[in-house]
Every structure is written in structure tokens, then in C-alpha cells.
């Protein structure tokens, strides 16, 4: 069963926390270079904020599953170490802000007491595994994907193949063909499927590969219509191995999997991944379907509650937009809409206290930045509504036009260009106050990002905005790029939104009104918003919005961004989401030795595959160090191997380092091969160290 026992019972976790504290001290003492330290802390969920001297800590919540106890622990930690706020993200994480770097080991230890981790929530790692929040209770699901998402979380956490890739890697599991986890924007996305063989049900997944948002959105391509459930982890590991070896590492803007697919060709990449299966840790991996246990469901039935007359309309809207019947008869899922994804810790505590008698002890963070409550008895819905209403948590319109997705923007993000959080609040107010009928519309999605990087998913919005700027009358003005026509199609297919026009940010509400007014007038003639957009065409919307973009009539207040009083200044820091590039020779040699020590540790623990991969990274790091010493830089691991042979052919005890290293995908990860491979890595590392020491001695 999925256990929420203390992570501190795991000696690996305790060791990691002690190691983080030790390395923070070394960093403060100037013994670890800043770039190396950034990479280290990002892999532990510690991300530099826009504000100097403080950190955002991202807490990894696999497939968004969080218990009452865990939410309360995160609230306690936010009070003690951060700003007494919880921020729910589109990747089902929880973020806290304004944390002192020196206190992060203690923070991590506190979270670990209740089975919560920050490990690999940022950096060039496998990020949080997302899944449909309604998985397990979805009436349309062929089976519950939650155990598969958790299986992926366990398999790839601390896995050596995914610790220092060129870029982040994302998995997503949707519960049905409705694709409520947006599988097509993930590096690998999964849609559950079943088929009957010999009279028995066989589970598998439709698999799409290479999806991503960012400044250049890319829709994942079909790999399998049906891949057996036991093969999804071996396939995924083989993809990551190829990505790690051949992926870009110098230019972060070209480092996602989608760019490698375009570079080598989709079919050629799949061939490379198939060849890599020889080296994977497992050839078949059976997910434990019972690993995610059923939550405790309250027995109490409350029948003596009546909705007051002045609340009846709000109650009906709440029922119509935020509540749905589960596949379990008599129970309901209930969505909590958290504006901008935020909930104060004081509200969080009152929230848990209010709902505990009425719903199961299991919530899910949703990809729309809210929460899902489960197993609410139909008879208890009035009592639940009134309890939530006291906390102002009954806003209607979950996942509707009134539920705007947003990233933190300039509130805390280094890359933010505009205040996306305040703009989202303004646009939601427009819908609630002027377009109440759209509160029920769950087709159209509005999404906002503070910059072009699409953390707010504007690239796949039906109506999207991203922060930008332009000079008007010699002064910098905050602007919003308007995008239209993106969204989920279903069954692993999606659409990228078109960039239509750029307008002053203060005019974004006018843009929304214009589009909604036009859709109210013409929408009935079309089957969907997508058909409406496609039939009328991009130029129609450009011409319709062009008067709003007119710069001849700008006013002084339009030079001020939402939520600000001072004139706008474009100030972009250095983003850390992708990690950093480390080209320091001494640092690389230090890493090579550290990785070899990990190889020995895992070998002693009989983790043959992991030991082999640590040895692989040992040789790559040592080779890169020598190349950099010679002024030769390479942006991929395969490039390092090739360049090393070109510059040091026949030296260091090997005729071809590339051939030596690439034995990794030509041999099964057995004990015998692990022993031989580690010996080669040790010999190569020692020769490189001796080679570097000789010139230094001669010059003294």
C-alpha cells in the first residue's frame, strides 16, 4: 500500500538532508562554485526567487494526492519557514515562497516526517508525475491510473539516469479519452486503454511522445495505440537514456526532447530507444495496482441542514459547476476553486477542520490550480457547501471560462515580464460580473503566463495571454500577446493556439469582452469554439481586435502594469527552471569522482543497472573535463565521446572511449558487466587525474 510513513525512516533521505546542509556551508564558504550549487539545490526543489536572498521551495506531490495531515504539515512549514501561503501549481505541486536558503535542510526534514519530499521538483530531472485529479472516481475511466503514476514516481525518483539531463522531463497520465491531464503536452503522455484477449481484460496505454509548451509549443506524437501496462516503464526508461546521451546541454532553449526528435527524426529516435532496451534495468515492470489504497470514508450522514434562501442560487451554481457524481454510487467529487492557485495557511487549517467529517481523507491538487475532494455523500452536499461557504471556498465555475489558469508572473518569478496573477483576477471578475452564463461553460479555457514560456499554459488556451512589452511614444509599456484557438481535442490530441495580436495589458479585459460578445452572437452556429475559430479564421480575429491594439490613443495608466502603481519597467532575471550548464574543469573532475563513489555504493547494494549508469556518467564527466582543459566544448554527451576520441585517440588505456562507454547499451545490466564496466571507469578516471596532475607538477 502507498505509505505516508516518515520519509526519515529511509536512510537515503536522512543522508541527503545532511548532505544538503553540508553543501550549503561549503557554498557559503566559497568551496562550491555558484553554478554547481544551483544545479544541486534545484534538484532538491529549491528555486531562486525574483526577490534577492530568498527561495521558492517546490514540494513534489505525486499525481496531486495529499492527505489532510500532509496539507496541515505543509501549512505548518509555510508558517515557520515561508510566507504563510500555499500555491497550487498546474503540475499538481505545492509551492511556498520567501524561504531562507540556510533553513531548507530543516524544512525538508520537517516535510519528510509526513512522507513529503522536495526531491527533483525542479532542475534537469523527471519532474512531478501528473495525472487526472479525478482518477479513481472518473465515471469514464477504463481503470484507475493513480497506481501507474505512483509507480513512475517511485521508479524515477533518485534514478541515476534522470538526475542531470540536459533539460527537465515530464510524464502525464489521463484517466480517460477526455484527456483531463493534457497528455499531449508531456514528454511522454499516457491514455488508459483496455482490450480483451482470450476472454480476459488486458490493460495498456495509448502513448504520445515529445510534447512540450514553452515559447515553441509542440504537440506530442503517437507512438503506440496500445502498449501493455508492463512495458510502459521500460519504454520510458529507454527514452530518457537516449535523451540523456544525445540531448542538447549548452543551449537551454533547444534542450527539450522535442528538439532532439526534430534533430534526429522521430522514427530514428524510436529506433535508438528500442536499441537502448538492452541496457534498461527492467524489460518488464508490473505496476502494483493496489499501491494506492482507498481513503477513509466518513460514515456520517447529515440530513438536518437547509440552504438559506439567500444562498440557494449560489448553491445551485456550485452543484452545477463544481460537483459531479463519482463512478462509486452515492458519492460525489467536489472541486475547490482556489483563485490564482493560492490558499493562506489559516484558511487551509479551517478548511481541513470543516471538511474532515464530510469527505474522504484524500485530496487531489488539480492541474487547474485548485483542489478536488472525494467521496462526498449526496446527502451531505448541503452541509459541505455551507461549511465551505464560511471560508469563501464555494466560488462556482471550476474549469470553466471563469477559472483562469495563471503562473506567478512578476510576483515571484525571475522570468516574469508582467503581473499575470492580478490580470487573472481581473479577467475572472469580468466573467462573474458580466458573463454569468459562461460560468457554466467548461469548453473554453483562459490561460495566462507572465512571459512567453507558457508556465500558465497559454500556448494551448482557447483564449490565452502572455506577458510582453513594447515601446510606445518612447516609453516602455506592458503588453499582452493574445492567443486564440488552442486546447484539448481528446484521446491524446491537442491544438496549439495562434498568436493573433499584441495589445496593452490594461486592455486585456476589453479583448476578452470582444471575443465573448462575438461568440455569444455567432457561437450557436458552430459545434464548438474550435470550429468557430477555424471557420472564421485568424485574420477575422485580428481585424476584430485591431482597434483595441491601436496605440494612437494610449493613456498614462496604460504604462502601469496590473497590480502596480509605478511606471512599468521590464526587468527579467535569469531563469533557473532548466538548471544550469557547468563547464568548470575542476567541478567536472569533482563530479566524476563523486559519481564513481555512487557507482561503488550502488554496486555494493547489488544495484547493477544503477551502478553501471553512475560509471557511465563518471567517464563522460572526466572526458568532458579534459576536453575543456584543452578548450574543446561539446553540448551533448555523445559529442563529448566523439570529440574525446578525436583529440585523445588511443590514450588513457582505450583505443576508443566512445566504444568503451557505449558498451552500456550493448550488454544486459548483469553483475559481471557491472564489475567490468566499473573497473574500466575506475581506470579511466585515475588516468585522467594523473594526466592533469603531471603538467601542474612540472610547472612548479
Q: Is the pLDDT of residue 3 over 50?
A: no
Q: Is the pLDDT of residue 693 over 80?
A: no
- pLDDT band (50, 70, 90) for residue 244: very high
Fold of 1-121: Sulfite Reductase Hemoprotein; domain 2 (3.90.480)
Average pLDDT (137-164) is 96
| Percentage of the chain lying above the pLDDT 70 cut | 95
Q: Cell numbers at residue 682, please?
A: 575506475
- Enumerate residues 6+ apart whose C-beta is below 8 A from 187: 169, 170, 171, 209, 210, 211, 212, 220, 239, 243, 256, 257
Dump the DSSP string for 528-589.
Answer: SHHHHHHHH-HHHHHHHHHHHH--TT--GGGGS-TT--SPP--------TT------HHHHH
A 10 A CB-CB count for 571 gives 10
Average pLDDT (423-436) is 97
The pairing of strands 221-228 and 200-209 is antiparallel
Partnered with residue 371 across adjacent β-strands are 336, 365
- For 384-393, the pLDDT digits (tens) are 999 999 999 9
Average pLDDT, the chain: 92
Average pLDDT (519-531) is 97
Q: Can you tell me the distance from the alpha carbon of 647 to that of 651, in angstroms, rounded to the nearest whole number?
A: 9
Q: Cell numbers at residue 348, please?
A: 487551509
pLDDT of residue 9: 55
- pLDDT band (50, 70, 90) for residue 250: confident
Average pLDDT (96-108) is 94
pLDDT of residue 581: 38
Q: Can you tell me the distance from the alpha carbon of 254 to that of 457, in angstroms, rounded to the nearest whole number?
A: 19
Average pLDDT (615-644) is 94
Tell me if 449 sits within 8 A of 455, measured CB to CB: yes
CATH class of 414-559: alpha beta
The reply to whether 124-293 and 414-559 are identical in fold is yes
Residue 622 region by backbone torsions, left for phi larger than 0, else alpha for psi between -120 and 50, else beta: alpha
Sign for the pseudo-dihedral over CA of 392, 393, 397, 400 = positive
**What are the extents of the domains in the chain?**
1-121, 124-293, 309-389, 414-559, 585-698
The CB-side HSE value for 71 (13 A sphere, CA atoms) comes to 28
Given the candidates 3.30.413.10, 3.40.309.10, 3.30.1360.30, 3.40.50.12280, the CATH classification of the domain at 124-293 is 3.30.413.10
Fold of 309-389: Alpha-Beta Plaits (3.30.70)
Choose the weakest-confidence range: 8-22, 324-338, 581-595, 681-695: 581-595
Q: Which position has the higher pLDDT, 177 or 47?
A: 177
Average pLDDT (563-579) is 60
pLDDT of residue 7: 54
Q: Can you tell me the distance from the alpha carbon of 583 to that of 600, in angstroms, rounded to the nearest whole number?
A: 25
pLDDT of residue 580: 40
| CATH superfamily of this structure's domain 585-698 | Nucleotidyltransferases  domain 2 (1.20.120.330)
Average pLDDT (621-638) is 92
pLDDT of residue 570: 59
Q: Is the pLDDT of residue 1 over 50?
A: no
pLDDT of residue 240: 98
- For 349-394, the pLDDT digits (tens) are 999 999 999 999 999 999 999 999 999 999 999 999 999 999 999 9
Q: Is the pLDDT of residue 152 over 90?
A: yes
Q: Can you tell me the distance from the alpha carbon of 475 to that of 473, in angstroms, rounded to the nearest whole number?
A: 6
- For 24-60, the pLDDT digits (tens) are 888 888 877 777 787 788 888 899 888 888 999 999 9
Choose the weakest-confidence range: 193-197, 260-264, 651-655: 651-655
Comparing CA positions, the residue from 89, 386, 147 lying closest to residue 285 is 147
Q: How far is CA 444 from CA 250, 397, 519, 527, 692, in A?
A: 38, 12, 11, 13, 61
Q: Can you tell me the distance from the alpha carbon of 231 to that of 224, in angstroms, rounded to the nearest whole number?
A: 11
pLDDT of residue 571: 55
- For 437-460, the pLDDT digits (tens) are 999 999 999 999 998 888 899 999
Q: Is the pLDDT of residue 408 over 50?
A: yes
| Percentage of the chain lying above the pLDDT 90 cut | 78
Residue 33 region by backbone torsions, left for phi larger than 0, else alpha for psi between -120 and 50, else beta: beta
- pLDDT band (50, 70, 90) for residue 575: low
Average pLDDT (662-683) is 96
Q: Can you tell me the distance from the alpha carbon of 682 to that of 618, in angstroms, rounded to the nearest whole number?
A: 9
Amino acid at each position: 500500500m502507498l505509505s505516508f510513513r516518515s520519509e526519515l525512516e529511509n536512510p537515503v533521505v536522512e543522508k541527503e538532508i545532511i548532505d544538503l546542509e553540508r553543501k550549503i556551508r561549503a557554498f557559503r564558504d566559497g568551496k562550491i562554485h555558484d553554478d554547481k550549487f544551483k544545479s544541486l539545490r534545484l534538484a532538491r526543489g529549491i528555486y531562486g526567487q525574483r526577490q534577492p536572498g530568498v527561495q521558492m521551495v517546490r514540494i513534489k506531490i505525486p499525481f496531486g494526492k495529499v492527505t489532510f495531515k500532509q496539507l496541515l504539515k505543509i501549512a505548518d512549514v509555510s508558517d515557520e519557514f515561508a510566507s504563510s501561503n500555499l500555491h497550487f501549481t498546474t503540475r499538481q505541486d505545492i509551492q511556498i515562497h520567501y524561504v531562507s536558503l540556510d533553513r531548507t535542510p530543516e524544512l525538508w526534514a520537517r516535510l519528510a516526517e509526513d512522507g513529503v519530499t522536495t526531491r527533483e521538483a525542479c532542475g534537469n530531472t523527471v519532474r512531478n508525475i501528473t495525472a487526472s485529479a479525478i482518477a479513481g472516481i472518473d465515471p469514464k475511466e477504463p481503470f484507475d491510473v493513480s497506481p501507474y503514476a505512483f509507480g513512475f514516481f517511485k521508479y524515477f525518483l533518485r534514478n541515476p539516469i534522470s538526475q542531470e539531463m540536459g533539460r527537465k522531463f515530464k510524464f502525464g497520465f489521463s484517466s480517460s479519452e477526455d484527456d483531463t491531464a493534457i497528455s499531449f503536452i508531456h514528454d511522454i503522455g499516457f491514455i488508459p486503454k483496455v482490450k480483451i484477449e482470450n476472454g480476459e481484460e488486458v490493460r495498456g496505454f495509448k502513448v504520445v511522445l515529445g510534447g512540450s509548451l514553452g515559447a515553441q509549443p509542440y504537440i506530442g506524437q503517437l507512438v503506440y495505440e496500445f502498449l501493455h501496462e508492463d512495458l510502459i516503464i521500460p519504454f520510458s526508461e529507454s527514452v530518457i537514456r537516449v535523451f540523456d546521451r544525445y540531448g542538447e546541454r549548452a543551449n537551454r532553449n533547444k534542450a527539450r526532447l522535442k528538439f532532439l526528435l526534430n534533430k534526429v527524426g522521430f522514427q530514428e529516435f524510436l529506433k535508438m530507444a528500442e536499441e537502448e532496451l538492452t541496457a534498461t534495468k527492467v524489460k518488464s515492470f508490473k505496476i502494483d495496482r493496489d499501491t494506492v489504497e482507498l481513503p477513509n470514508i466518513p460514515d456520517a450522514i447529515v440530513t438536518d441542514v437547509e440552504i438559506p434562501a439567500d444562498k440557494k442560487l449560489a448553491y445551485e451554481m456550485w452543484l452545477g459547476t463544481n460537483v459531479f457524481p463519482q463512478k462509486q454510487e452515492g458519492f460525489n467529487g467536489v472541486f475547490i476553486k482556489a483563485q490564482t492557485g493560492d490558499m493562506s495557511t489559516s484558511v487551509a487549517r479551517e478548511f481541513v477542520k470543516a471538511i474532515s467529517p464530510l469527505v474522504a481523507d484524500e485530496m487531489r491538487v488539480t492541474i487547474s490550480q485548485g483542489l478536488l475532494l472525494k467521496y462526498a455523500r449526496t446527502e451531505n452536499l448541503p452541509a459541505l457547501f455551507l461549511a465551505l461557504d464560511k471560508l469563501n471556498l464555494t466560488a462556482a465555475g471550476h474549469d470553466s471560462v471563469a477559472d483562469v489558469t495563471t503562473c506567478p508572473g512578476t510576483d515571484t518569478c525571475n522570468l516574469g515580464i508582467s503581473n499575470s496573477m492580478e490580470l487573472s483576477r481581473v479577467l475572472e471578475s469580468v466573467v462573474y460580473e458580466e458573463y454569468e452564463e459562461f460560468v457554466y461553460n467548461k469548453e473554453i479555457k483562459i490561460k495566462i503566463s507572465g512571459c512567453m514560456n507558457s508556465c500558465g499554459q497559454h500556448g494551448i488556451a482557447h483564449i490565452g495571454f502572455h506577458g510582453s512589452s513594447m515601446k510606445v511614444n518612447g516609453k516602455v509599456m506592458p503588453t499582452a500577446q493574445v492567443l486564440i484557438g488552442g486546447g484539448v481535442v481528446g484521446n491524446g490530441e491537442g491544438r496549439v493556439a495562434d498568436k493573433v495580436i499584441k495589445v496593452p495589458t490594461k486592455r486585456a479585459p476589453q479583448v476578452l469582452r470582444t471575443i465573448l460578445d462575438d461568440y455569444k452572437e455567432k457561437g450557436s452556429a458552430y459545434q464548438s469554439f474550435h470550429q468557430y475559430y477555424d471557420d472564421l479564421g485568424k485574420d477575422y480575429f485580428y481585424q476584430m481586435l485591431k482597434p483595441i491594439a491601436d496605440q494612437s490613443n494610449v493613456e498614462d495608466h496604460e504604462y502601469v502594469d496590473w497590480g502596480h502603481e509605478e511606471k512599468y519597467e521590464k526587468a527579467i532575471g535569469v531563469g533557473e527552471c532548466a538548471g544550469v550548464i557547468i563547464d568548470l574543469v575542476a567541478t567536472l573532475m569533482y563530479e566524476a569522482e563523486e559519481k564513481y563513489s555512487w557507482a561503488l555504493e550502488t554496486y555494493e547494494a547489488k544495484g547493477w543497472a544503477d551502478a553501471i549508469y553512475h560509471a557511465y556518467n563518471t567517464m563522460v564527466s572526466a572526458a568532458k573535463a579534459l576536453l575543456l582543459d584543452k578548450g574543446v566544448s561539446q553540448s551533448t554527451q555523445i559529442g563529448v565521446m566523439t570529440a574525446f576520441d578525436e583529440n585523445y585517440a588511443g590514450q588513457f588505456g582505450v583505443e576508443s572511449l566512445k566504444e568503451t562507454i557505449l558498451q552500456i547499451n550493448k550488454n544486459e545490466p548483469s553483475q559481471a558487466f557491472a564489475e567490468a564496466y566499473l573497473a574500466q571507469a575506475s581506470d579511466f578516471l585515475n588516468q585522467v587525474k594523473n594526466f592533469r596532475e603531471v603538467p601542474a607538477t612540472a610547472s612548479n
